[in-house]
Structure 1
Amino acid sequence: MRYDVSVVGLYILDILGRPVSRIPDRGNVEFIDEIRLTVAGTAGGVVVNTAKLGLNSLAVGAVGNDEKADFVLGAMDRLGIDISAMQRLDGIPTSATILNIRPNGERPALHMRGASDHFDVPPRLYDQIFDAPILHLGGTGLLKTLDGERSRLLLEEAKRRGCTVTFDLIAASAETAGLVLPLLPSIDYFMPSIEEARDMSGQTSPADCAAFYLDRGAQTCVFTLGGEGAYYAAADGTRLHVPAYDIDVVDTTGCGDAFDAGFITALTHRMDPEAAIDFAQGVAALVASGLGSDAGVVSFDHTKERVAALQAGRRKG
């Protein structure tokens, strides 16, 4: 196949600054230590990290025809990501977010929706985007045109063509549940945060949330639990709760996207479920240790070394 993974969905330019304890009054100035621009979003943050982890990655999304798009496309191109399926839309700004990172790693955001609201996947791209064993759809909830029936048809076609489908969303609510539930029969790995899983299902525990989604057609649920680690539940009855690594958090931006990228990479390397979760949490830990959704991620081998070190620290703890 032409690619290892096709990453479809939400592409954003993030503008991050840290540490931000408060917004200055009137027109005053506060000095901070670091400002970064990164390619982010529930697809953009994934594809950047899959590329850094050595996967031949296709980016499938939309940007505007502006200076923000120049950065997003240029940054992905420099990482060797195939951007030929990215759309540039005239008269619409690239989706972007300003994030003020607090000293404890929290990240209040100001988001401009932009081009991702207008993104669709035309059938002329099908032969290209399905030329990969894994298709990741990321960003349901902020993909106004693609959300709903268009996504259902896309994922059904992905399954018809033999792709493994991984899935993540954003801005979960009761309304988002209406978009997500019809997609579940075409999803092999459903990977929201536990907060998102709870908001859409009305359930509380990871086990009850997983039962809700498995009963509605998902093959496997992989929930990120923040400081509590990750929970894995498959239709074959496998259940795993893998603890988190003990790290010093700088910025939680993109940790879920990094987890997705790590898990997709683990699937590519045919890791067993527990090893896949350990690796995915290692990628997320690297990202949490710096500013932005790709901080700390260098390569597959470097990440394996860091995961081994984190596992050793977990055992000692």
Structure 2
Amino acid sequence: MSEAGRVLVVGDVMTDVIVRPEGPLVRGSDRRAKIESRPGGSGANQAVWLGSMGAKVSFVARVGARDKTHLEAYFRSFHVDPILVADPQSPSGVLVVLVDADGERSFLTDRGANLALEPSDMPVGLLGETRLVLLSGYSLFAEGPRRAALRLAEEARRRGVPIALDAASVGFLREVGVGSFLEWTRGMSTLLANADEAEALSGAGDLTAQMIALGAYFERVIIKRGARGAAVGGRQGVRLDEPAPQVEVVDTTGAGDAFAAGFITAELLGAREAECLRRGIEAGSRAVKQLGGQPEQTAC
């Protein structure tokens, strides 16, 4: 789909250490568990899902210097153009994912080199051939990467390139302050948020109220509702609300990233909003049936 234009993704590269304990943790003692390491990071997940779906995608991130070469090869295997900056001091980020018996997950995060992202790392020259900037909220949760991401966003807006923002983390949203986050991102084209993030950002528990409140800041609001599907709307309220199919959940890590990729890929190919929403939900539903936040390499 090269004729549809480039998606420029900005976000984190992480190694996900996935821990599935056999039962509740025993404080001060042992619990057997299955432990695996897999590529991760919200921005990286989105880029790889987009590439696996046929989008033309470039991915911008900072990584530990010793990891740069093999990570570039990995992203290229999914048809992603990697724009990775090697950090000489900090290692690549690591995320410990604790997966409950029902597939829900909790995170312990060491963002490593991601925190050193700088404005000079941003490939502003690519905006001339970019159809959409997809920005991970993780890039806004620390001062350094925030300066870099907002610098790119400012230039994208100046050139008329739409920006889709993934809210990324309800915990970090509360840490930096909801008001600050909304002011940093006011006027971006599309907000993607899960139910908890939407509630935190809007201060409302009702879906319609969330849409109206967040529509004051974003042209379009997409709320990912997990097993309940997803909805699209804005300052006028809910425009579309689509349920999700019932599937066996293995791991919900990366489901929202797959949803974003499915929605965006369909939109770039000219699909109407309802079809984009269905494609996003289908992608998210596929993602929860596998372990880890990225598609299997055989999918590329």
Structure 1 length as normaliser, TM-score? 0.83
Distance 2:13 2:180 in 1: 19
The residue aligned with 1:289 is 289
Distance across 2 between alignment mates of 1:20 and 1:214: 43
Q: Which residue of 1 aligns with 2:131?
A: 133
Q: 1:91 aligns with which of 80, 89, 93?
A: 89
- Whether the aligned pair in 2 keeps the contact of 1:289 and 1:295 (CA below 8 Å) is no
Where do 5+ consecutive residues of structure 2 fail to align?
none
Partner-residue secondary structure (3-state), 1:215:
coil
Match of 2:116 in 1: 118
Distance in 1, matches of 2:179 and 2:149, equals 12
Per-residue deviation, 1:270: 1.4
Q: How many residues align?
A: 294
For normalisation by structure 2, the TM-score amounts to 0.87
Which is strand-richer, 1 or 2?
2
- The corresponding residue for 2:16 is 14
The 1:257/1:48 distance shift into structure 2, 3 A limit, reads: same
* CA spacing shift, 1:209–1:235, aligned 2, 3 Å: closer
Counterparts of 1:262 and 1:292, CA distance in 2: 17
Question: Residue in 1 aligned with 2:80?
Answer: 81
Structure 1 range deviating more: 9-18 or 235-244:
235-244
**Cα 1:297–1:169 shift into 2, 3 Å:** farther
Structure 2 SS opposite 1:5: strand
Separation in 2, partners of 1:136, 1:87: 18
Assess, with a 3 A threshold, how the Cα gap between structure 1 residues 186 and 226 changes in structure 2: closer, same or farther: same
DSSP-derived class of the 1:86 partner: strand
State the shift of 1:24 in Å: 7.0
Partners of 1:125 and 1:246 in 2: how far apart?
41
Displacement of 1:152 in angstroms is 3.6
8 Å contact kept, 1:252–1:288: yes
Number of the residue aligned with 1:182: 183
Q: 1:157 offset after TM fit, Å?
A: 1.4
Change (3 A) 1:281 1:20: farther
Q: Is the 8 A contact 1:189 1:221 kept in 2?
A: yes
Corresponding residue for residue 192 of structure 2: 191
Q: Contact between 2:52 and 2:299, CA under 8 Å: does it hold in 1?
A: yes
Pick from 94, 98, 101: which aligns with 1:100? 98
Give % identity.
Answer: 21
**Shift in Å at residue 77 of structure 1?**
2.3
Deviation at 1:211, TM superposition (A): 1.2
The Cα RMSD (Å) is 2.7
SS across alignment from 1:186: coil
Change (3 A) 1:18 1:214: same
Task: Tell me, yes or no, if structure 1 residue 109 matches structure 2 residue 107.
Answer: yes
Report the Cα distance in structure 1 between the residues aligned to 2:248 and 2:297, rounded to whole angstroms: 16
